[in-house]
Structure 1
Amino acid sequence: MSRLLASVVVGVLVLGAAGCAHETRALPSSGESAPQRPAGPSREPLPSGSLVLRGVVTWEGKPAGGVTVSAVPHADVPLSARACSSGVPGMTILDPGCGAMKGELARTADWLGLEAPMARTVTGADGWFEFTQLRESTYDLWASGPKGTAFLAAVAAGANVVGVSLEKGRTLQVAVEDGGSGRPLSGARVALLPQVGGQAFLTVSDAGGKATFSPVPTGEYHVVASLPGRLADAGPVGAEGTTLHLHVPRSLSGRVLRSGRNGEAGLRVRLEGQGLQGLIQTREEGDFHLGGLPPGSYALTVREGRELAMATVLIPEDRDATDVRLTLEPCAEVAGRVSRPTGEPIPRAEVELLLGGAGSWRKMLATTSAEGRFRFECVERGQVRLSFKARGHVSPPEPLAGELKAGGTFPADAVLPPAAPARGRIVNPGGRGVGGVRIVLTALDGRSGGSATTAEDGSFEVDGLAPGRYAYELSPGERFQAARGEVRLPAANLRLKLLRGPAVEDRRP
């Protein structure tokens, strides 16, 4: 993207996020949506320079006259590469899970569609067009005419002849609905964003809630819709179109109490859910209020020193969530050691903790240290279920379960016996390895089994199985017959042969 365009777009995103950072960081403000602007766009001129960019537009090899050609500064960092301000690392602003930035995306799309620096011209009867007085930079060219459309990326100013070939293009349709009732919403601003460029196509949903973009060049697109008084929605759009749901913003309010005492100001309440993350401090007597939220389920957490309070709150479509109570209690912990039957520690073992309470479960993960130890600190009371997994070892057949009390410690030692080797190759009748074959091993004594897919040379390995007899099933696809049989583990050099021909049900090798 040119420096001018990049700085303006980044400014829009930063200012949009900063507008609510003092209250909830990444949470939207109440009624967040893109402003509705007049139909007539007021575009800034392209930065002036001395360069010329000229070219010819063709359709089926012949010059195409009357085609509108637009020049937009090329996006070196497109929207599809911009980081989401709230979410897991690597999430972008276009990711459906980035709920915190849908409003900012709508405002950015509005700017790109109405005010982004752009120049337009129309091809003559000979198909030629020309842009003059351009500065040294690269530009994206968008062409649209009666016969078709085209997109050409990163064309350098000063190019003598640029060839633009029109394609038929395609029509994309977006349905905009009320988030609660599903009824069509008319008058919503809908923006189509090509993921490759710094351009946006704008329209308004009709009486049936439909927004149509036609024709547009082949490529990947994102769409965002907004309407005053509603929360913006966004998502990818394919050839079959998509549906966006605009919710009336809701609020969540309540109070944080200390055990046996009243609430107090300055306690931090963390909210997660619906693609949002936010942090707000309590006011006097522990009261808090969060606005501009879409309906759905949210997790609330308050941690103050060695005290903890957690709750899951459902905000319905038709009303706000009020009078939520969070009571701080002493933290609990789950700790233990994972070892072999000999007592040796197992490092890097994976430990999964499920904490249950009020009809829901929360998952936490840990990895054992070099001494085989792990610890989950400052967790809430409730039901506990622990599962263990380590490469080269057999996991316990059942989770370790129990009840964790407030301020208590749940001991969770586990012993994992060594796994039996289950390695080998799957070959064709000629003895050559066959890749992409699915092998499923099922224990005949009722214990858990495992599966794997062969590598290109036909080799496979199934980890975590106990010694014993197993039934195997091979799924090779259409080239060979499915095969079934039995093997005994441990076995480090299994050789299983396939038969050519279509799969035959219940046939054993």
Structure 2
Amino acid sequence: MGPRWLAGAVVVVVVGLFWVMPLPGRDGAFRTPASRPSDAIAGSSGTARATKPAAPRPTGSLRIQGVVRDARGPVRGVRVSASRVDAETLSERPCPGEGEATMFDERLLDADCLLDREAEVAGLVELREGEAPVFAETTTAEDGAFVLQGLPPGAFTLWALGEHGAVMRPRVPAGGDAVELLLEQGFQLSGVVTAQDGRTPLPGARVTVLHEAHTRFFDALADAQGRFRVGPLPPGRYLEVASARGWRPGLFREALWLDADVEVVLTLHRMERLEGQVFTPQGLPAGVVTVNLHSGIGSGDVRSTRSDAQGRFTFEEVPDVEHRLWAWDSKRTAYGDAIAQPSLEQAFIRMKPTTFLEGTVRDEQGRPLDGVRLSAQGMVLGDAPSPEAVTDMAGHYRLGPVLASELKLSLTRAHFLNRTEHVSQQDASAHAWDFTLSRAVSVEGLVVDTEGRPLAGVTLRLAPGSDPSIYINRDRAAQQDENTVSDEAGRFLLETAGEGPARLWAGAADFMPEKVSVKVPATGLRVVLRRGASVSGTVLDAKGQPMPSVEVQLWNMAPGSGEARAGTVDAAGGFSLRGLKAGRYALEALRGTPGLEQSASSIVELGEHTQAVVSLRFEEGRTLEGMTVDTEGHPVPDVQVRACLPLDDVPAWQLSAAECGPRGTGVRSGADGRFVLKHLVAPTYQLVAWKEGRSFTPARSRGGKADASSLHVAPGGSDVRLVLERSPHLRARVVSADGAPLPASLWAPVPMPVSSPDGVFDVALGEDARQVLFRAKGFLDLRRDVVMRPGVDLDLGTLVMIRGRKARVIVRDEAHPGPLAGVKVIVDASYEGTPPPDAPPVPLPFIGSLDGEGAVELDGLPLVPVVLTVSLLASGRNQGVTLLATHQETATVTLPAP
């Protein structure tokens, strides 16, 4: 039951909810943007408008009736509805594409699939596509009664959403006439929608929260401060989608089961225009070529355009992040790529001739080998197929196009040892690349179960003379000699370098791993896998209802084992773990929630063929209430609080456990500073608390025993006060020499740069801060030494930044006298390691592509002589150096021939 918390930024998910409550405005009045979430209309780009979901229409003759209650009795005015997922619902759609996603039946909303489909899913939600259809809805009467009519046969998910509570009940069959829905407290999901700096609010942004499994949508509009609130919502796992006109819709996700109020920050990226120019290998404008763009923020989409006669191209409305661009000529004989961000730079792409690798592969006797497969690994290829070739009868191959500067080449052929070679692109076409493969010795056989049935898909490893596990971290290409998977008939073939004794390991899901001693070479081996023991069962909540979204782990309790098997729990709370050895195990179910990782465990004794059935039931547990206060005892709202087990209480069979710290998502204290932690079952917990601009001080807190970073408390205890001191603030006003406010950013020591459009800063800093750094475009960096003291703010007053100078650096190459337009370079400014006294800092190195004239503009250079060093980014060779005098505006740097 040790703490295993998911670290990472808080993510917001869109959930289907009926009750939407925006935060109050400055006058304290609540304003609901629409009478129902579906009435809110917003578009991110002005071209797509959200549509209202169709009103429920009777599609059958059945009904569900019942009553909604809370702890005090029937509740009137609660909105009750019936929905169910279908093939078009987002939660049921398969992950598009082929390969592993299809093999493992991955769904669109699964975490791995969303990595590449985030933009696609956000767009669907924005257009209200994929929402679970609602078949009926109503509002409870004075006695809490409700009737949902016109339902077709089948089971439905019922949602009861009220002003002070919510509940969701899945799998309710149509025709039920005594359904009781007991309102729970539910939770509020609130937060702020900001620009990509994380601080500038986006008023009027639309936020859609959707339930991951049952796919109901709930909407809210951000107020003038960019804040929103949705709820109360039933406990569950949710996604969030945020959108605003002129900004890229964003999808946010966290892997927690939400059952307590949470506060999130949803950051969007502005849509901008990206312009650029593409050049031929000779440095001339490349007219009418295809340019492709891909952004690295959760989108698998590739956009394409064509350059004009001058090689110029434009992409409209792309998010203001780094993008990768690449271009081919019409015959794919030349290729180029670049990285660019719309708000910072133009994109310049210099194409290079594509090269091919050619040669012959022979055996150790010099005989040509046909059927040898050669493949390039680790190459960034854009939309080109992965380079691969197979030798012909003469052993000849031609591989390409080769794009990467360094090529990792793998050669494989049956009955021969694999080979890996590293080839430099500069050398690729210099001569023929011939290779020799050494013949392998083999181990062949059949894998079967105890009934003699062949087993397909079994993984086998061979390790000469030792445990095969030592080969796990070897180079993958070399591993192929000693690793394989049995075919449909259970047959396998393993090939290795030397003869002699070896160990063969075989393993598969649902079977116990098997180790066999063999003598290489060997044929006709028969490997028998036993199914062993199994543990299956159901995970239930404290009320006896199945719990989805739970992780199950089975720990081997043998001293020092550290072995654990993980499993998933289905929608009905079921799990199954097979292929287990006999022994004593701890079976544990885990579910992360705000502020606490819930767990339930049971000890299981397994014999060699035991088929154990275990029910894990989470306890209701106890609650712990407390307050977050400042040093004067006044409430501090919106503090996150987390509880975890002390390290000394972590069970011995868990070999590692994370320390308790301010990370993940905690329960949030309210406006009165009060917080509640529920479902606590251990005798003692560590509490930690955190909020931006505040420092948790356990020594000044009360209600428990303090250590250096936490407060140890007992559930059910009273008068818990967590004290948070105000972090010391640094204030400054940045101006130019004429006194005008200067847009600037503070880079150190804050974790992320803090930008200020008017140059005014009021930033909480840690007490260990010793130096701060201010930056502004075109100005010299400004550093100040600081001494921060607890509880004491530091005002640096008005800081005057000095404008740096600009210089245009033209780059030439002695080996290639043509223009270097689009060539990638690194330009570094320095004092040659001996800066003069009081010399201002030099700007960071320029890393990027030269413009159409083979030059780059440097800004923010100091008004003293500096040394400029230029090198080609692709190889780092040919460093050209020049001295830029104090008043010099243009310099030419020539790269020497190699």
Please state if 1:189 is matched with 2:206: yes
Alignment of 1:346-361 (within 5 A): 347=371, 349=373, 351-355=375-379
Does residue 149 of structure 1 match 2:164?
Answer: no
Partner Cα separation in structure 2 for residue 273 and residue 118 of structure 1: 39
- Is structure 2 residue 127 aligned with structure 1 residue 108? yes
From 120, 131, 139, the counterpart of 2:148? 131
d(CA) in 2 for partners of 1:166 and 1:350?
64
> Which amino acid in the other structure matches residue 79 of structure 1?
L
Say whether the 8 Å CA contact 1:36–1:189 is kept in structure 2. no
Is the aligned partner of 1:236 residue 2:253?
yes
| Match runs of 1:259-338 below 5 Å | 259-260=281-282, 262-263=284-285, 265-274=287-296, 275=299, 276-294=301-319, 295-315=321-341, 319-327=343-351, 329-335=352-358
Judge conservation of contact 1:267–1:282 (CA < 8 Å) in 2: yes
Shift of 1:128: 3.7
Q: CA deviation at 1:123?
A: 2.7
Q: Does 1:467 align with 2:498?
A: yes
Q: Which residue of 2 aligns with 1:10?
A: none
Say which SS state the counterpart of residue 339 (structure 2) adopts. strand
Structure 2 match to 1:171: 187
| Cα pair distance change 1:154/1:503, threshold 3 Å | closer
Change (3 A) 1:179 1:308: farther
1:22-421 equivalences in 2 (<5 Å): 32=45, 44-47=54-57, 51-57=61-67, 64-66=74-76, 67-72=78-83, 74-82=85-93, 94=109, 95-101=114-120, 104-109=123-128, 119-124=136-141, 127-132=144-149, 140-145=157-162, 146=164, 148-152=166-170, 159=175, 161=177, 163=179, 165-166=181-182, 168=184, 171=187, 173=189, 178=194, 180-183=196-199, 185=201, 187=203, 188-197=205-214, 199-205=216-222, 207=225, 211-218=229-236, 220-239=237-256, 244-260=266-282, 262-263=284-285, 265-274=287-296, 275=299, 276-294=301-319, 295-315=321-341, 319-327=343-351, 329-335=352-358, 341=364, 343=367, 345=369, 347=371, 349=373, 351-355=375-379, 364=386, 366=388, 368=390, 375-380=398-403, 382-389=405-412, 393-396=416-419, 399-404=421-426, 411=433, 413-419=435-441, 421=443
Cα offsets for 1:19-63 (capped at 9, x unmatched): xxxxxxxxxxx96489798xxx97643335673523224669998
Residue 297 of structure 1 deviates from its aligned partner by: 4.0
> TM-score by structure 1 length?
0.64
Shift of 1:368: 3.9
Range with greater deviation from structure 2 (380-389 or 338-347)? 338-347
- Of all paired residues, the percent bearing the same amino acid is 16
CA distance in 2, matches of 1:302, 1:441: 44
SS at the partner of 2:216?
coil
CA shift, 1:105, in A, is: 2.8
* CA 70–264 in structure 1, closer or farther in 2 if over 3 Å, else same: same
Amino acid at match of 2:117: C
Distance 1:414 1:222, change over 3 A: farther
Distance 1:192 1:127 in 2: 27
Q: Report how far residue 200 of structure 1 moved.
A: 0.4
Q: For the Cα contact (< 8 Å) 2:338–2:347, is it kept in 1?
A: no
Matching residue's letter, 2:168: A
CA distance in 1, matches of 2:286, 2:231: 53
Q: Give the superposition deviation at 1:313.
A: 0.8
Q: Residue 363 of structure 2 contacts residue 438 of structure 2 at CA under 8 Å; is this kept in 1?
A: yes
Instruction: For residue 109 of structure 1, report the CA deviation from its aligned partner.
Output: 3.6
When residues 309 and 171 of structure 1 are mapped into structure 2, their CA distance, relative to the original with a 3 A threshold, is same
Alignment partners' CA distance in 1, 2:70 and 2:371: 65
Greater relative contact order (Cα < 8 A, sep 6+): 1
- Is the CA contact 2:218–2:230 (under 8 Å) kept in the aligned structure 1? no
Q: Distance in 2 between matches of 1:213 and 1:415?
A: 66
Shift of 1:104: 1.8
Give the counterpart letter for 1:411 in structure 2: W
Structure 1: distance between partners of 2:501 and 2:325: 43
Question: Alpha-carbon deviation of 1:311?
Answer: 1.0
Contact kept? 2:89, 2:131, Cα under 8 Å:
no
Give aligned pairs, total: 439
The structure-2 alpha-carbon separation of the partners of 1:394 and 1:353, relative to structure 1 and needing over 3 Å to count, comes to same
**What is the CA RMSD across the aligned residues, in angstroms?**
5.7
CA contact (8 A) 1:86 1:277 kept: no
Task: Check 1:349–1:130 CA distance in 2 against 1; reply closer, same or farther (3 A cut).
Answer: same
Query: Structure 1 pair 407/244, CA: closer, same or farther in 2 (3 Å)?
Result: farther
Higher mean C-alpha displacement, 194-203 vs 415-424: 415-424
Contact map agreement 1:351 1:386 (CA 8 A) in 2: yes
The range that moved more, 164-173 or 245-254, is 164-173
Deviation at 1:400, TM superposition (A): 3.6
Q: Which amino acid aligns with 1:332?
A: T
- Change in 2 beyond 3 A, CA 1:369/1:198: farther
SS of equivalent residue, structure 2 residue 198:
coil
What is the CA deviation profile of residues 360-395 of structure 1, one whole-angstrom value per residue up to 9, with x for unaligned ones?
Answer: 9x9945374786776533333733331234566433
Note closer, same or farther for the CA distance 1:355–1:53 as it changes in structure 2 (3 Å cut).
closer
Q: What is the deviation of 1:191?
A: 1.0
SS of the residue 2:267 aligns to = strand
Distance 1:81 1:185, change over 3 A: farther
For the residues of structure 2 that align with 1:315 and 1:52, how far apart are their CA atoms? 57
- Partner of 2:425: helix, strand, or coil? strand
Q: Distance in 2 between matches of 1:169 and 1:76?
A: 32
Structure 2 counterpart of 1:232, which letter? P
Please tell me whether Structure 1 or Structure 2 has the larger radius of gyration of its CA atoms.
2
Q: TM-score, with normalisation over the residues of structure 2?
A: 0.39
CA distance in structure 1 between the aligned counterparts of 2:95 and 2:376, rounded to whole angstroms: 28
Deviation at 1:148, TM superposition (A): 3.8
Q: Which runs of 5+ in 1 are unaligned?
A: 1-29, 426-434, 477-485
Closer/same/farther in 2, CA of residues 400 and 437 from structure 1, 3 Å limit? closer
Distance 1:265 1:301, change over 3 A: closer
Distance in structure 1 (CA, Å) of the matches to 2:215 and 2:485: 44
Query: Aligned AA for 2:198?
Result: G
2:74, 2:143 within 8 Å by CA — same for their partners in 1? yes
